Structure 1
Amino acid sequence: MQSVAAAVCAVPVLLLAWRLGGTYLDRYFTRKLTVLCELDDIGNPRPDNKRIQGTAVICGGSIAGLWTARIAADHFEDVAVVEPEPWLATEEGQSNTFDADGTPIESRRENIRTRVMQYTSVHIFQPLALLALRKLFPNVDEEVKNADGRIAAYEVNGHAFGRPIMKIPMHEYPDGNYPECLFMTRELYERLLRRLVTQSSKRIRWVVGTATGINTVPGDPTTLSSVTIRTPEGNGEKIPAALVIDCTGGTQAGLKWLRRIAADTVNTETLQKCAPAGALSWDDVKIEYSTAQPYIVYRFYVPPEARAKLPIPGGYENNIWPYMYMPVPGVERKIFMMNRIEGHRFNIAFCGWGAPPMPMDFDSIKDWFKNFSIDHQKIPEWILPLLDILLEYKDQCEILTGKYSDPSWLRFERAPYVPSNFIAIGDAVMRVNPVFGQGCSKATIGALALDGFLKSSSYANLTTIPAGFGREFFKMHKNKIESIWDGTKPTDYMWDTTRPVKGEKHSDEWLNGVLGNIVMDLAGRDPEVDAALFKVRFFLGPSTALLAPHLLVKIIAFAVRQKLGLVPA
């Protein structure tokens, strides 16, 4: 009896010990795996006498480059953004294309990005980006409103396994202050961000040209001296650089530049001595796989007389992203989503793994939905009446088609050679499946990680970039973004139409993919699991949040019941 009593008394002690230890672990992993701690301190510049001497040269002026320029301006004496398209540095490149009422401003759309995939497509700008924007630019809410953008609670009405998933965990925000995000196209976001960044600091300047290479200090290949650019006139110029930041996006030019330097026999002996133990071969630094995902988007203009008629739950004005369907990984392949963007335009987008059948003309859209066959659910009843109204205005509809780029990861932290003053951010490091909506957040994460790294005790008081800085940055950065790759690749591998990374098989990710399916299925049934998934997917908590013991018990129990056929459909 005494032993039983002792055991009973020990239970609350053990639970308390776990709670205390769990709190410590959560803080540790939040600091290591997220940028939530860095978020608290952004926007606080160095004193002038502690600024890093010289120029931070940012190669690429798209989303990653713009975020990085804003952060670099808090640390460096000078920031040069190298961008090939001249019009981006003009007033047009920083202007809204719609006014606050959604009326087009045609004079501001004389040019369009030629080097950016899905430039006019809607993107998911998750809460992390808005939190950071509000700290850096106090007027961002007003700026978004003036451009007919939307800021609202982060609800995209995602459905999988026949149920809504990744909904806002209302119970965790009793004050109603729910996580919010931006709803807009990439075009609007990029123009808005460019204007805010350019106006934020006189230290930021634009250099029109294409970055074509990097140059090392004579006799020291471990340190870069400058960036070579090709001007619009075709001339070559060099920009001295204290730090080179590759933000070339999907071009991923940095890897090519490093390989070029490493291949020079003059540098061979020095670089061999500098190569870390366990370094990858150059051919293995980049890993890549293919999901074979074409897409088609129907973008309807909704005139004033039709807006109140649209049978969208909550109404046209209130429901920005009324529906998104994600297929059961490995079972179904089709995706569709519906959302509203600036200019009173309404998107219906179709995609999927392995090029599934999609409606390629107006006449086939309704038939596609009528024949939509899925295991767990039917489409909402309001969708077909919605289509009837939208198709009345098909003469004002824009059709966008394309194919998603292949996911890839450049593992610079294990490269044979990384100059001390070279880093990369955004798609220049990792490009993931756009379906999951994490690419733009990845750029924000990279910029915030750089800010925190430069403010750390190792670098806060230095006015020059020290030896080894680049590789140490990549090691830290890997911890912040690895969960994006690990959280999406197993899902992509669930389809046999995905071409795996060279040397891998679909079965290599089978267990992770199955576990992912179990978590998503359970998330639609259990609010606690769904809340953890919401935080992990949207970078509001570490990936370890799903490993809390009480959640693991739920997940394991659900998997067992599912295996025994005890889980209702």
Structure 2
Amino acid sequence: MKPGYSCIKQIRSYFRSLSDPVNDDQLIVVGDRLFTDIVMANRFREKGWTDRIGLRSQSFVSRHATTSSSVTQSSTRDGSSADVTESNVPMSPALPPHRTLGVWTTSVWVREATLMRFCERKLLDGVKKWIIARSKARASKLAAQAKEDDVNDKFSGKDEVKRKTVGDQSQEEITEGEEAVLRRAFVHPLPPALPPSRKNGALRTLVNLVKSATSTINPISSAKFVTEVMSGIVRDEIVPSSPLSFSPPIQQVSIVSPESCTNEIEKLKDRPSRSLRRGTAVICGGSVAGLFAARICHEFFESVLIVEPEEWLTSEDAMRQLSWEQMHKRTRVMQYQSLHAFQALLLDGLAKLFPDLEEQCRRSGIAIRPSAREMNLAGPSVAIIPVPTRSYNGNLPKTLFQCTRAGFETLLRRMVLGRGRYPRIKQVAGTVVGVSPQLKDFGRIGKITVRGADFQLREIEASLVVDCTGYARAGAKWLAQAGYGTAPIPAGKLTLQDSKIALDSKLHYSTLTCNVSSSTLEKLPIPEDRDLETLFYALFEDIPENGRRLFVLTKADGNRLTIFVGQSSDELVKYETISTVRSLVQDLVPYNSNAPVPSWIFQTLDILEESRPELSYSHVRVPATAYIQYHKVANLPINFAALGDSVLSVNPLYGQGCTKAMLGAIALYTTLAQSETPEELPPDFSERYFKEHFNKTDSLWQTTRVLDYGVPCTKPIAGEDLSSGRLLRWYIRKLWSLAIKDEQARRVVWDGAMGYGTSVDPLNPWLAVKVLWNSVTGVWLSILPNSA
């Protein structure tokens, strides 16, 4: 029943007023919500279920027959309660103390028995039969065993009391066996509560569905339920409870996608030093992914060593408070001087790893603000996809503003290395050129070979080797040279050489950074609904044939503005001046458009051009994105891991790079936390880590691959063609179109852009109906749930 119904209060008051009162934590009110309530209702309305409760309560019935009768009579006198406790609802003859009572609105469910409800019920019936089959078999076996024991006891001369006792125990075991199976299938503890701004985040659990009646969005995807139940994603654990009935508080179903990492982020914490594993964790590469990995390994190893090729990164210049004052620039990070975007999910992980993050950002001129970034689509006209403020109850998750790639990496390096808070982490200048197996165990890496800044080679013993070399993906080369990832290859596995796949979207990056004076910043015609700190305007062209052009104007750290253009093309594409950028923006919208680019964008470009600020220009031809499928590689060393671009890279237009590195770090933390052996890592460490990494990041590759195939100049993966995923691309474009006017659609789009979404969220049944209806008729179905 929807919590907003006024009769809920009356129902609770009625049951609390009984001579044997039923408290709120002992009462289940089940209504017409999809799946969750229906599961509970089906459990209670099944005769076998109530029989079991009644059987166990026989000793309690006689003492509470009067109470049971008064319940029926009072329900008839009270109008609201009478509508709920109907005559066709089977109830236990009595309610044992401290047990839950189920009340469900059968009439409401019947009145709204749509085709979807019918399909759901059939699905649940099928799942139930599939799950309790083992229970019935066990019950039959126990019954036969009990009968045989009775016969044996009779011939062995045991007394009647003994036989009765054995019989009662057997019956209880039979009953409890089936209930335990049902509990394991449908009843699971919820994860720790998230902050208010995150709780309704990305359709994480079915419990959000129960609470969604008071918010704008949070429908559960039926497709997600089917997929995850059938693939065993529902966590397999038995909830401890009394053998009689559910014990309060009520446990609820929690289905979590393996792509989700919200729960794992909440578990990130400092660990006691007494639990440290012996040896050194060697991090190969000291950029963003390497710094994340070092921070994680600090919680698990006695020593952590970062090997970084660029020598100046060991100096104070690499950890300056204000990154734009650095005397050196990175030479091995292609986007160091280019536009960089950060998802809100990244900030969640950073805040757990670095408790004083907000203060450190303030000192570096980096702002943390709610991520109220609208997306503007250019096509036949310009349309704005608003942020889903209403569905977040006005509390949008926060993200980083005024932050460049240089600023973020410098901040991260200072927090990890520059303050002495993580004393077990050291950094040396050098390049890892190879690995060597242990002499006694080829399955483990024993040492790494480092070429120092003086070009001398030296070996370092390693308990764990983490490849964070980015696009170089040097780890795969080291392993191949050492003989890993080769034959024999079990079925379903790949060699290291065959595990790499790649596609090329032929993306060109042009970034203009304007160093302007304070007086020029004051002249900018910023709209009243925006402020300079969070200035961000993005115009994305929804015409793939033109190379999917993207224009961005944003405030960077310091007194700097960033102008960015990204475009895929077979030809060399550069936008080196403000004038060429202006021409592009004018070309993004047809002349007959009724929704042009806002005038303040062109006025800002004019002011910048007139003031002639100091300009720095960066052009990047983004290399082909690649994926080394380590989760499929056979014969990997036990103590090897990789994260970030070393495993997979995706189209940087979507701003997922640093989030992907954070997801890898979370996977590393999760796997290390599960590996409690003090001496060395367990034999399945690498296999479990790459499986966890796959679960967290593979959807990023699959989604961006499908979108990149929509650009005609893209070079696909060998053996594939650009027609792959055509239907899904069509659906996503229609979803964007619907998001302009529909709150549920814009929430799904926004969650995906901020890292909170999963790959199944866009396939929510109600959302799919609205997308299809809107695309066919052009009419927005605002009457369906969660529309604006």
Query: Scaled by the length of structure 2, what TM-score is found?
Result: 0.65
1:341 pairs with one of 532, 556, 572 = 556
2:782 alignment partner in structure 1:
none
In 2 relative to 1, CA 461–549 (structure 1 residues): closer, same or farther, beyond 3 Å?
farther
Alignment of 1:216-227 (within 5 A): 216-218=437-439, 220-227=441-448
Q: Displacement, 1:365? A: 3.6
1:509 alignment partner in structure 2:
725
Alignment of 1:458-537 (within 5 A): 459-460=675-676, 462-537=678-753
2:327 pairs with one of 101, 106, 110 = 110
In 2 relative to 1, CA 182–222 (structure 1 residues): closer, same or farther, beyond 3 Å?
farther
Residues 500 and 626 of structure 2 are in contact (CA less than 8 Å); yes or no, is this contact kept in structure 1?
yes
Alignment of 1:312-351 (within 5 A): 312-314=526-528, 317-318=531-532, 320-333=534-547, 334-351=549-566
Alignment of 1:364-513 (within 5 A): 364-374=580-590, 377-456=595-674, 459-460=675-676, 462-513=678-729
Q: Displacement, 1:473? A: 0.9
Distance 2:355 2:665 in 1: 18
In 2 relative to 1, CA 29–190 (structure 1 residues): closer, same or farther, beyond 3 Å?
farther
Distance 1:501 1:512 in 2: 18
Q: Displacement, 1:206? A: 0.8
1:261 aligns with 2:509: no
1:197 aligns with 2:416: yes
Aligned residue pair count: 544
Alignment of 1:255-294 (within 5 A): 255-262=476-483, 272-273=487-488, 275-294=489-508
SS at match of 2:400: strand
2:393 alignment partner in structure 1:
174
Deviation string, structure 1 residues 394-453 (Cα, Å, up to 9, x no partner): 351222222122211110111133111101000000111111110111001110121122
Q: Displacement, 1:513? A: 1.9
1:567 alignment partner in structure 2:
none
Computing the radius of gyration from Cα coordinates, the structure with the larger value is 2
Q: Displacement, 1:146? A: 1.4
Residues 51 and 463 of structure 1 are in contact (CA less than 8 Å); yes or no, is this contact kept in structure 2?
no
In 2 relative to 1, CA 256–95 (structure 1 residues): closer, same or farther, beyond 3 Å?
same
In 2 relative to 1, CA 317–553 (structure 1 residues): closer, same or farther, beyond 3 Å?
closer
1:163 alignment partner in structure 2:
383
SS at match of 1:337: strand
Q: Displacement, 1:289? A: 1.0
Range 109-118 or range 187-196, more displaced: 109-118
Deviation string, structure 1 residues 201-238 (Cα, Å, up to 9, x no partner): 11111122101111111253321111111011111111
Q: Displacement, 1:455? A: 2.0
Give 1:493's aligned amino acid.
Y
Deviation string, structure 1 residues 54-77 (Cα, Å, up to 9, x no partner): 111110000000011101101111
1:214 pairs with one of 435, 439, 446 = 435
SS at match of 2:523: coil
SS at match of 2:564: strand
SS at match of 1:325: strand
Give 1:216's aligned amino acid.
P
Residues 155 and 321 of structure 1 are in contact (CA less than 8 Å); yes or no, is this contact kept in structure 2?
no
**Runs of 5+ in structure 1 lacking a partner?**
99-103, 564-569
1:93 pairs with one of 318, 323, 330 = 318
Deviation string, structure 1 residues 25-50 (Cα, Å, up to 9, x no partner): 598664511211111011231x3332
In 2 relative to 1, CA 176–219 (structure 1 residues): closer, same or farther, beyond 3 Å?
closer
CA RMSD of aligned residues (A): 3.0
SS at match of 1:111: coil
Distance 1:143 1:423 in 2: 30
Residues 351 and 357 of structure 2 are in contact (CA less than 8 Å); yes or no, is this contact kept in structure 1?
yes
Residues 268 and 353 of structure 2 are in contact (CA less than 8 Å); yes or no, is this contact kept in structure 1?
yes
Distance 1:210 1:150 in 2: 35
Residues 262 and 417 of structure 1 are in contact (CA less than 8 Å); yes or no, is this contact kept in structure 2?
no
1:128 aligns with 2:318: no
1:8 aligns with 2:111: yes
Give 1:495's aligned amino acid.
V
Select the structure with the greater relative contact order (CA < 8 A; seq sep ≥ 6).
1
Range 443-452 or range 396-405, more displaced: 396-405
Q: Displacement, 1:499? A: 0.8
Give 2:410's aligned amino acid.
R
Range 359-368 or range 537-546, more displaced: 359-368
2:568 pairs with one of 334, 340, 353 = 353
Distance 2:582 2:541 in 1: 19
Give 1:33's aligned amino acid.
E
1:305 aligns with 2:305: no
